C-alpha cells in the first residue's frame, strides 16, 4: 500500500493557497472545484503551477476538514478571490507514497504514524498530501500516487 517511509528535508518555496474549512462529507464536491479555482488563478497570473497540487491539513478537527489546497508557483502570487500567496516552509518530515486510489488514505496515514512512533519521532499537528498522479493523468485508480508528508517536531 505505501512505500517504505523515509525522513526527508524539504526546502522552502513559494506557493499559492486556497483555504477551506468544510464538513467531512463535503470533500468530494468541494475539492475539485477548489483545485480548478486555484490553478486557474495561478495560470492567469503567469506563475505556474510548477508542481503538483497538495492539501495542507492544518489540524485534525472532528467532523470537518480544516485545510488549504495549494500548489508551488514560480513567484509569489497576488491575492485574488480566495487564492492567497504563501510559503511552503522548510521542514524535516516523514514521507511515504501511497500507491492506489484515495480510499487507501485512511489506512495509509496510521501506517505512517506507527512508523514515526517506532522511529522514536513525533509528528507535528499538520500534515500534507501531495497528489502526484491523479485522475487527470491516470485513468486507473491503481496508478494514482499520493505523497504523505508529516512534518516532525524537533
Rg value, the chain, Cα? 15
Q: How far is CA 15 from CA 26, 55, 110, in A?
A: 24, 12, 27
pLDDT tens for 92-147 read 999 999 999 999 999 999 999 999 999 999 999 999 999 999 988 999 999 999 99
User: What's the pLDDT at 87?
Assistant: 97
Helix (H) or strand (E) holding 31: helix 27-44
Helix (H) or strand (E) holding 53: strand 53-61
pLDDT tens for 34-43 read 999 999 999 9
User: What's the pLDDT at 60?
Assistant: 81
Query: Would you tell me which CATH number, out of the four given (3.20.80.10, 3.30.470.20, 3.10.450.50, 1.10.8.60), belongs to the domain 6-151?
Result: 3.20.80.10
Paired strand residues for 116: none
151: pLDDT strictly greater than 90: yes
Q: What global pTM score does this model have?
A: 0.94
CA–chain centroid gap for 64, Å, is 16
User: What's the pLDDT at 44?
Assistant: 98
Residue 123 DSSP label: B
Residues 54, 119, 91, 23: is their CA dihedral positive or negative? positive
Give the Cα separation of 81 and 63 in Å (integer): 26
User: What's the pLDDT at 80?
Assistant: 98
Q: Are the CB atoms for 104 and 97 separated by under 8 Å?
A: no
11: pLDDT strictly greater than 90: yes
> Which has more pLDDT, 61 or 58?
58
Amino acid at each position: 500500500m505505501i512505500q517504505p517511509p523515509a525522513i526527508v528535508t524539504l526546502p522552502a518555496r513559494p506557493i499559492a493557497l486556497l483555504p477551506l474549512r468544510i464538513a467531512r462529507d463535503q470533500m468530494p464536491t468541494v475539492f475539485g472545484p477548489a483545485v480548478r479555482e486555484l490553478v486557474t488563478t495561478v495560470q492567469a497570473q503567469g506563475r505556474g503551477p510548477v508542481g503538483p497540487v497538495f492539501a495542507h491539513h492544518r489540524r485534525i478537527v472532528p467532523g470537518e476538514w480544516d485545510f488549504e489546497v495549494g500548489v508551488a508557483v514560480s513567484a509569489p502570487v497576488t491575492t485574488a478571490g480566495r487564492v492567497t500567496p504563501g510559503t511552503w516552509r522548510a521542514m524535516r518530515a516523514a514521507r511515504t507514497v501511497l500507491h492506489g486510489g484515495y480510499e487507501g488514505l485512511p489506512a495509509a496515514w496510521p501506517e505512517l504514524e506507527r512508523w514515526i512512533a517506532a522511529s522514536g519521532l513525533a509528528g507535528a499537528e499538520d500534515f500534507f498530501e501531495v497528489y502526484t498522479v491523479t485522475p487527470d493523468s491516470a485513468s486507473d485508480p491503481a496508478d494514482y500516487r499520493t505523497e504523505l508528508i508529516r512534518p516532525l517536531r524537533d
